[in-house]
Amino acid sequence: MAPLLCALLVAAGLWLLLSRSWLSIVFGLALLGHAANLFILAMGGLTVGRAPIIPSGASVLNSPTADPIPQALILTAIVIGFGMQALLLVLFSLAARGQGGDTDELAD
Amino acid sequence: MNWPTNAALAPWALIVCLATAVALIPFRRSLVISRGLSLVGSLALLAVSLLVLGRVLPGDVLRMQAGSWIAPFGISFAIDTLGALMLVVTAVVGLCGNIAAQATLDPSIEKRSFHVFYHFLLMGCVGAFSTGDLFNLYVWFEVLLIASFVLSALSKESPALIGTVKYVSLSLVSSFFFLIGLGILYNAAGSLQMADLSAVLATQGRLMPIAAISLFMAFAIKAGSFPLFQWLPATYPRLPSAIVAVFAGLLTKVGMYALIRVFSAPLLQVFPHFHGIVLVLAMGTMLVGVLLAVIQNDIKKILSAHIISQIGYMLLGFAIHTTTGVAAAVFYLFHHIIVKANLFLIAAWIEALYGHCELKKLHALRARHHFLAISFAISALSLIGIPPLSGFSAKFFTLSAALEAGHPLAFFVALAVGALTLFSMAKIWSEAFWTPTDAAHSPVGQLRGRARWIVLPVILLNAWTLWLGLNFQVVWKISVQAADQILGGLS
């Protein structure tokens, strides 16, 4: 499922990115970001329902568990992406002010 | 002299930038205090990075694991010779750009938290140069991108905003590719430590070409390499010159640094035609950049286009991928950041005099402003590569590495691009500087008030390019050491 979902997100993101309305571009970039996050999670290997917690009494993990590092990575990437999108919205709306919502009018 | 220890010193440059930026926040409305604090922060960064360079020169690598987490889990710092060199250049350009910004920037821009974001920008660069982990590299890239977005939108003028929109969109696409590449690398190596990657990647196959292409795309967009450079000429000429000087010096070079750093020997072996492709891209970057420069009629536009053509030379050294090639690329970075920043500072100087940089409306600058003419001549000749300035040694090393490795075509392209660079610099010189005085109707411009300080960073950076040209062996030795370390992996 994850690869298909990832491909769908990239496709939708690219499609929105290529449109002429600046709001669609913002959403397209956001979707691309989500696709990348999902991709990292999937590439890290999905193990469902097994938290990487060492049981009491043991000193190491002995059964396969979810890898915490990709989760930590995408948590960081999600936070950065969220900040980026907020900035993007402000920037695009400032740039588009008085120029309509069409990116063609942003050209020079 | 053993205090602080090597491990403790590694994050200091970063801490200095962060502390300065945070300390500036409460004083952002007060021009006097924020200017003073900002200068102190820049000077402290310079002192720390010189200290770091001193520690690294014997061949050591400064390593630090934040919170003493074992290598792949915590945040790790690793500064080797290349990182330390870049830190020093960042600090120098940061200081000069700071003085220039205080001298020429509109105070209303400075009051919109300019100095806060300026130091966050430096923090992003410093972080990228001192991290030992690929994901951290991504985080620092985002830090410097956000800071640069804000800085380029600060003037709130429509052309600058439109340029910023293009820059932001392409940068985010490049971040997307970066993350995809990271995902694949993590899948193959189980870690994103640069030191681990080189060992693991040599044995892995299949997905590696995709990872290599994704990462190359990500860094090439940031570096402004052909064919992904369009954001650069759309953005840079519209921003205030003092800000562009720092952008032009540092931002694209961070991308170049990442290319050199990440694509060390082992990753390349899994993708046999990589060298050839990069070589072609390097020639394309040089040619397209310089042709773009030749057709422009504005000093800032010409200089922006030359950023692209010069990136081509660094790509060339990187593509040759012998020790001499990579060392040449490192040397070129060291030379180019300074000279390019200086040319934009001179543009800021001209802007402070006449309020614009259009060649058609500038006359007789040589007769009117002797010192400006000398400063421009030194920087421009260094960019072209005339001895004894640093551009000559940088080009000499790159070209001889190309010949040594058997790439005569790249050699001739680089020579031709050098000639075209001469042409476009001569265009600026003959139209703006060398026209007779009686052709000029506009009144003579004068530097007033604090704008006079713009002369100081220009002198500093010109002295640097002269020094580097005359003492190229010193820096060349350091560059070779850096190249050896990189090609041997960060181990």
Helix count and strand count (H, E) for chain B: 23, 2
C-alpha dist (Å) from residue B429 to B87, B177, B377, B392, B443:
33, 41, 8, 20, 20
Evaluate whether B263 touches B198 at the Cβ level (below 8 Å).
no
3-state secondary structure of B268: helix
Verify whether the Cβ–Cβ distance A37 to B135 is below 8 Å. Answer: no
Residue in B308, B301, B254 with CA at minimum distance from that of residue B281: B308
Q: Looking at residue B86, what is its pLDDT?
A: 92
Q: Which residue of A has its CA nearest to B160?
A: A95
Verify whether the Cβ–Cβ distance B186 to A84 is below 8 Å. Answer: no
For residues B140 and B127, give the distance between their C-alpha atoms in angstroms, rounded to a whole number.
6
Verify whether the Cβ–Cβ distance A95 to B158 is below 8 Å. Answer: yes
Evaluate whether A68 touches A6 at the Cβ level (below 8 Å).
no
Q: pLDDT, tens digit, for every residue of B140-150?
A: 999 999 999 88
Q: Is residue B66 within 8 angstroms of chain A, CB to CB?
A: no
- Judged against a pLDDT cut of 50, whether residue B491 lies above it is answered with no
Residue in A32, A42, A30 with CA at minimum distance from that of residue A3: A42
Scanning B190-229, the segments in alpha helix (DSSP H) are: 194-201, 208-223
Q: Does B438 or B12 have the greater pLDDT score?
A: B12
Evaluate whether B240 touches B109 at the Cβ level (below 8 Å).
yes
For residues B278 and B306, give the distance between their C-alpha atoms in angstroms, rounded to a whole number.
19
Distance of CA B272 to the CA centre of its chain: 29
- Judged against a pLDDT cut of 70, whether residue B441 lies above it is answered with no
User: Buried (b) or exposed (e) across B92-105, using 16+ Cβ within 10 A?
Assistant: bbbbbbbbbbbbbb
Average pLDDT score over residue span A32-54 = 85
Other CB atoms within 10 Å distance of the CB of residue B354: 18
Reported confidence tier of residue B46, pLDDT bands at 50, 70, 90: very high
Evaluate whether B223 touches B243 at the Cβ level (below 8 Å).
no
| Beta-bridge partners for B77 | B64, B131
Q: Which of A32, A69, A106 sits opposite B176 (nearest CB)?
A: A32
Average pLDDT score over residue span B184-194 = 81
Length of chain B: 491
Q: Which of A33, A73, A87 sits opposite B146 (nearest CB)?
A: A87
Q: Looking at residue B404, what is its pLDDT?
A: 87
Over pLDDT 90: what percentage of chain B?
A: 30
For residues B310 and B35, give the distance between their C-alpha atoms in angstroms, rounded to a whole number.
33
Verify whether the Cβ–Cβ distance A92 to B179 is below 8 Å. Answer: no
- Judged against a pLDDT cut of 90, whether residue B62 lies above it is answered with no
Q: Looking at residue B365, what is its pLDDT?
A: 78
- Judged against a pLDDT cut of 50, whether residue B490 lies above it is answered with no
- Judged against a pLDDT cut of 70, whether residue B257 lies above it is answered with yes
Of the listed ranges B11-20, B100-109, B187-196, the least confidently predicted one is B187-196
Q: Looking at residue B439, what is its pLDDT?
A: 60
Of the listed ranges A69-73, B136-140, B186-190, the least confidently predicted one is B186-190
Q: Which of A35, A84, A99 sits opposite B172 (nearest CB)?
A: A84
Q: Is residue B452 within 8 angstroms of chain A, CB to CB?
A: no
Q: Which of the residues A21, A22, A46, A80 would you substitute to probe the B interface, choosing the one with the greatest number of B C-beta atoms within 10 Å?
A: A80
Distance of CA A62 to the CA centre of its chain: 32
Helix-helix angle B81-104:B31-56, to 10 degrees: 160
Verify whether the Cβ–Cβ distance A87 to B184 is below 8 Å. Answer: no
Reported confidence tier of residue B16, pLDDT bands at 50, 70, 90: very high
Q: What proportions of chain A, in percent to the nearest 5, are helix, strand and coil?
A: 65, 0, 30
- Judged against a pLDDT cut of 80, whether residue B195 lies above it is answered with no
3-state secondary structure of B358: strand
Evaluate whether A67 touches A45 at the Cβ level (below 8 Å).
yes
Q: Which of B142, B153, B156 sits opposite A80 (nearest CB)?
A: B142
Reported confidence tier of residue B266, pLDDT bands at 50, 70, 90: low
3-state secondary structure of B225: coil
**B482 CA: distance to closest CA in chain A (Å):** 29
The first and second tokens of residue B20, run together, are 């300065």
Q: What pTM does this model have?
A: 0.91
**B366 CA: distance to closest CA in chain A (Å):** 32
Verify whether the Cβ–Cβ distance B162 to A39 is below 8 Å. Answer: no
Reported confidence tier of residue B123, pLDDT bands at 50, 70, 90: very high
Of the listed ranges A27-36, B65-74, B211-220, B255-264, the least confidently predicted one is B65-74
Cα dihedral sign for B14, B20, B23, B26? negative
Q: Looking at residue B203, what is its pLDDT?
A: 61
The first and second tokens of residue B367, run together, are 């007769």
Residue in B347, B201, B325 with CA at minimum distance from that of residue B267: B201
For residues B17 and B121, give the distance between their C-alpha atoms in angstroms, rounded to a whole number.
9
Q: Does B386 or B437 have the greater pLDDT score?
A: B386
Q: Is residue B186 within 8 angstroms of chain A, CB to CB?
A: yes
Reported confidence tier of residue B343, pLDDT bands at 50, 70, 90: very high
Q: Looking at residue B198, what is its pLDDT?
A: 67
Contacts of B149 in chain A (CB under 8 A): 87, 91
**B478 CA: distance to closest CA in chain A (Å):** 35
Q: Is residue A29 within 8 angstroms of chain B, CB to CB?
A: yes
Helix-helix angle B115-130:B31-56, to 10 degrees: 10
Cα dihedral sign for B157, B159, B160, B165? positive
Q: Looking at residue A100, what is its pLDDT?
A: 54
Q: How many CB pairs under 8 A join A and B?
A: 83
Provide DSSP, B160-177.
HHHHHHHHHHHHHHHHHH
What does DSSP assign to residue B339? Answer: H
Verify whether the Cβ–Cβ distance B179 to A94 is below 8 Å. Answer: no
Q: Which residues does B474 contact at the CB level (< 8 Å), separation at least 6?
A: none
Evaluate whether B384 touches B324 at the Cβ level (below 8 Å).
no
